[in-house]
Amino acid sequence: MNDGMIKVLIIDDEPFARRYISEMLKGDPDIEISGEAGNGKDAIKLINDRSPDLIFLDIQMPEMDGFTMLQSLEKDGRPVIVFTTAYEEHAIRAFEFHAIDYLLKPFDQPRFEAALEHAKETIRKGGSGNTQSVKVSELLTAIGQKPQFLERLLVKQKGRIVFVRIADIDWIKADDKYIHLHCASSRYMIRMTLQSIRSQIDPSGFVQINRSVIVNVDRIKELHAAFNGEHEVHMSGGELFPLSRSHKEDLFRVLGKPVG
């Protein structure tokens, strides 16, 4: 460490995920954010160049996942590791790499702060990820206590961070590498895929109805039968979306309406 500061690298292929962690770290007098990386190759270079004390590392990344990236580093030179991922099945393997904690997305501020304090304690005691691993049982307990689905998003807008409650979203529409969030009186755009947001929100409340649109079921006003057996979804805000045949069964199952 430099002058008692803990140097941190944030490694995640999703820019929003990196911003989310960065915002949680801001204002901590013990932390110096030394850099960010969106893929394993860039992460290896940053780790070798900057010798961080701690890394927040996503497991699922294209081309080179978090595990493969760590295998490319010298074991003695590995920083303390906190894994972040949306998939709990990676938990046990994470401890083969001596992670001190494992944040299952979506994680909230209290859970993040607990992981950060654990990492700080490990580093201050002169330990490393190789010698200070938490017990697997503690990890599984933490996973069990986490919220199952994302409850809010942090959205950067006009130089400020806005907290958007998932329950307040009427519908979500994909636009290339971005998604648009439509609430009753607000509109937001974030760099995220429709598939990514879909995997993190409650499927009993939000359903994808066509290739590019997810709707809040509670905001559906009517379903209209259209030509050739097709349907249209009328939203409470007046919007009208086509319901594709491939997503028809999913919507009707949530609504409790038989397909036909």
Same domain as 166, residue 130: no
Q: Which of 117, 144, 171 is the last residue of a domain?
A: 144
- Report if residue 260 sits inside a domain: no
Cα angle: 93, vertex 97, 99; to 5 degrees: 95
Number of folded domains that form the chain: 2
Same domain, 105 and 156: no
Residue 241 has pLDDT above 80, yes or no: yes
Return all residues near 153 (Cβ < 8 A) that are at least 6 apart: 16, 163, 164, 166, 181, 190
Q: Is 59 domain-assigned?
A: yes
Asked, for residue 248, whether it belongs to a domain, the answer is: yes
| 172, 44: one domain | no
Cα–Cα distance measured from residue 110 to residue 155, given in angstroms and rounded to the nearest whole number:
19
Is the residue at 244 inside a domain? Answer: yes
**For the ranges 55-64, 149-158, 183-192, which has the lowest average pLDDT?**
149-158
45 and 110 within one domain: yes
Same domain, 17 and 123: yes
What average pLDDT score do residues 125-129 get?
Answer: 62
Residues 13 and 140 in one domain: yes
In which band, very low, low, confident or very high, does the pLDDT at 63 lie, cut at 50, 70 and 90?
A: confident
Is the pLDDT score of 45 beyond 80? yes
Residue 56 lies in a domain: yes
How many C-beta atoms surround the C-beta of residue 168 within 10 A?
A: 14
CA-wise closest residue to 81 among 11, 5, 4, 1: 11
With bands split at pLDDT 50, 70 and 90, how would you rate the model's confidence at 168? very high
How confident is the model over 42-48, as a mean pLDDT? 92
Residues 249, 172: one domain?
A: yes
CB 151 within 8 A of CB 165: yes
- Check whether residue 129 and residue 167 sit in a common domain: no
Q: Does pLDDT of 129 surpass 50?
A: no
> 237 lies in which domain range?
152-255
The band of 77, judged by pLDDT with boundaries at 50, 70 and 90, is: low
CB atoms within 10 A of CB 23: 13
Q: Please check whether residue 1 lies inside any domain of the structure.
A: no
Report the CATH number that the domain containing residue 235 is assigned in CATH. Answer: 2.40.50.1020
Contact 43, 9 (CB under 8 A): yes
- Domain-terminating residue out of 144, 176, 201: 144
- Predicted structure pTM score: 0.53
Q: What mean pLDDT comes out for the span 100-110?
A: 83
Confidence of residue 105 (pLDDT cuts 50, 70, 90): confident
Residue at a domain's end among 101, 117, 144: 144
- More confident call, 101 vs 240: 240
The per-residue pLDDT for 212 is 96
- Compute the mean pLDDT over every residue in the chain, rounded to the nearest whole number: 83
pLDDT at 132 over 50: no
Q: What is the mean pLDDT of residues 75-84?
A: 81
pLDDT beyond 80 at 98: no
Sorting pLDDT into bands at 50, 70 and 90, what band is 135?
Answer: very low
| Nearest C-alpha neighbor of 35 from the set 24, 51, 20 | 51
Overall average pLDDT of the 74-93 stretch? 74
